[in-house]
Chains A and B, each alone.
Chain A
Amino acid sequence: MKRLGRLAAAIAAFAVATTAAAQSPRIEPAPGALPVPNVGGPPDAGTPPSVPVEPTTPELIVDLSRARVSITSAFQGESILMFGMFDPPGEIVVVVQGPAARETVMRKQRVLGLWLNTGRQSFDDVPAYYAIAASQPLQRLLARGAGGEILSLADRLSTIKPATPRDADALAAFRSGLVEVKRREGLYPAAIGQVTVQAGRLFRVDLPFPSRLPEGVYDIKAYLLRDGKIVAAVSRPLPVGKVGFSAQLAGWADNEGPLYGLGAILMALLAGWLGGAVLRRL
């Protein structure tokens, strides 16, 4: 995984140099996301020269604006830019998936007037995050030949396995409950993101990540579609993790619980003692 990231970074250095120059003038003409790929719109004659440099150009090259999402003590969510280049014609679909884990959905019911959890259902292989972005409405792109491995959120969630068996209706209800909660937390964005295509061959898409983001290695996969068929796909891992002080603390809390507890007590004793001493001087 790490080696792949390094390799990606090497390609990125090249890609960034070309796209960075091309991006800045483009943001002005397209303030919202334009659904129509505006081929040859704004003046950007400077883009192509870098393309012919490589002799065997792959059909799809992508990279991310950042190699990882760092959850620091100032983290409030982050937007990652995926950008790249493809051989026209074609359309781009990007699927972002968070690490899979077991999730337990709980359902409240009114019992004697009070709302409390009465039902629960666990599912395995639930992605922590799931988002799709496309350069054209997804139905239109996939209508003709179905995109194979490209799954809408509903399709993806139909593959998660219940940890305990239950009848289909009840499972469907819990599954929709899962989507509801994840959506509220911004982890399953309802809207399909907009991939903007420039000059017919350059694309970019902003991928928003909320502040309550589960840690792990996310997978961002870009697909090149022609006539509803996948002709190329490139995957980029995106590690999401706490860094610095937060990471240190969370790591201690997870792995060294008792020691962390002692530290917490010591911190409180010290703060309380000092605080008390200072207060009496005032």
Chain B
Amino acid sequence: MEIYLPIAEQSMNVFVLLGLGAAAGLLAGMFGVGGGFLATPLLIFVGIPPAVAVASQANQVVANSVSSLQVQLRRGNVDLRMGLVLLLGGMIGSSAGVSLFTYLKRIGQIDFVIAVLYVVMLSTIGFLMLAESLRTYLKRRRNPEAPRGKLHTHYLVHRLPLKLRFYKSKLYISALLPIGLGFVIGILSAILGVGGGFVLVPAMIYLLGMPTAVVIGTSNFQILFVAANVTFLQAATNGTVDVVLALLLILGGVVGAPIGARLAARLPGVVLRGLMSLLILAVAAELLTELLRTPSSPYSLGTREVLP
């Protein structure tokens, strides 16, 4: 069954889009990440213009993070103070990111930048995850009783000025750090259409040293508002948010998430992370070959401008 997407200006199979949403939801359920970082490249593979894919995906992230935040808020797993400081950086970053996006779109380089950023980001995360899960797997095999290693971190964090006390996170660190982190995630969110949880969560644990319990909820809090900001700015400046596309992805996600959660409960974490890293690397490899392969035609068209 085909449906016409009014902003992407093309018809697309409903089930392909629902399936993509379900796949993203599956990941969300399995790993607690948004899944946007896989859904956006896949949307581009099936032929949605990258600008529309990114902006509509940001819209989907809003839905995704609000349903997770619901749970986290109820459990009291949100460090509001940390969330707000992150958000400060996130708002600046995402606003700057949308301006950058608009500029890149105008000079015709947005598709290239999206692809390159995805390749760099996905391959980094993919390899890190793969290495980590292999290491854990081998260690457990050697000694099944060994407790999971805890990373002990001591960075330059404590030397920065503007220190703030974050009671819920039991931290006393410079506000510049979460602001900077939020800024980077905001830019990623604007240009790639991702929530950024897969970067934010590890950064909060290892870089800021936040307790794991409040990490997911707090990152969800920041992602919700940053994604909403990106959706708003993309709609206002570029007009690239396709709500029909976003709604189909959201509906798919609603179906996919509980399946993912159930799968996650059954498979051991190491295997899960190993599988996920392979999936991420496969997408990165596909994007990279797209960049390296001689295109069937070197020509493409920019946006049509109807002159008055």
1/0 contact string of A247-282 vs chain B (CB within 8 Å): 101100110011011111101110111011111101
Residues of B within 8 A of A65 (CB): none
Inter-chain CB contacts under 8 Å: number:
192
**Does A207 have its Cβ within 8 Å of any Cβ on chain B?**
no
> Which residues of chain A are within 8 angstroms of B228 by Cβ–Cβ distance?
265, 268-269
Question: Does B243 lie at the interface of the complex (its beta carbon under 8 Å from any beta carbon of A)?
Answer: yes
Q: Which residue of B lies closest to A276 (CB)?
A: B67
**Interface size of B in residues (CB-CB distance below 8 Å):** 59
Contact present for B6 and A116 (CB under 8 Å): no
Kindly list chain B residues whose C-beta atoms are within 8 Å of the C-beta of A214.
304
- Chain A residues contacting B65 (CB-CB under 8 Å) are 272
Interface residues of B in 228-244 (CB under 8 A from A): 228, 231-237, 239, 241, 243-244
Q: Which residues of A contact B109 (CB under 8 A)?
A: 116-117
Contact of A279 with B254 at beta-carbon distance under 8 Å, contacts A74-B3, A117-B300, A120-B302 already known: yes
Q: Which residue of A lies closest to B296 (CB)?
A: A184
| Chain A hits for B66, CB < 8 A | 268-269, 272-273, 276
The answer to whether B247 has its CB under 8 Å from any CB of chain A is yes
Give the contact stretch, choosing among B7-15, B78-86, B170-178, B272-280: B7-15
Q: Is B155 an interface residue (CB 8 A)?
A: no
> Which residues 22-55 of A have a CB within 8 angstroms of B?
none
Looking at A71, A272, A278, the one whose CB has the most chain B CB atoms below 10 A away is: A272
Query: A268 touching B301 by the CB < 8 A rule?
Result: no
Contact B254 A101 (CB under 8 A): no
Please tell me if A227 contacts chain B, counting CB pairs below 8 Å. no
Shortest Cβ gap from A242 to chain B (Å): 6
Residue from the list B64, B112, B246 in contact with A264, Cβ < 8 A = B246
Please determine whether B236 and A257 come into contact, CB atoms closer than 8 angstroms: yes
A261 touches B250 (CB 8 A): no
Nearest B residue (CB) for A258: B236
**Stretch of A56-64, A107-115, A137-145 at the chain-chain interface:** A107-115
User: Is the beta-carbon distance between B241 and A264 smaller than 8 angstroms?
Assistant: yes
Candidates A74, A181, A262; contact of B4 at CB < 8 Å: A74
Further 16 A-B residue pairs, CB within 8 A, beyond A108-B299, A268-B59, A268-B231: A76-B11, A178-B299, A178-B301, A181-B299, A249-B7, A250-B7, A253-B241, A258-B236, A260-B243, A261-B232, A261-B241, A265-B62, A272-B65, A275-B253, A276-B67, A282-B258
Residues of B in contact with A (beta carbons under 8 Å apart): 2-4, 6-7, 9-11, 59-60, 62-68, 70-71, 108-109, 112, 116, 228, 231-237, 239, 241, 243-244, 246-247, 250-251, 253-254, 257-258, 291-295, 297-307
* 12 residue pairs from A and B, CB less than 8 Å apart: A104-B305, A105-B302, A113-B292, A177-B297, A177-B299, A249-B243, A253-B6, A254-B239, A257-B235, A258-B236, A260-B243, A276-B67
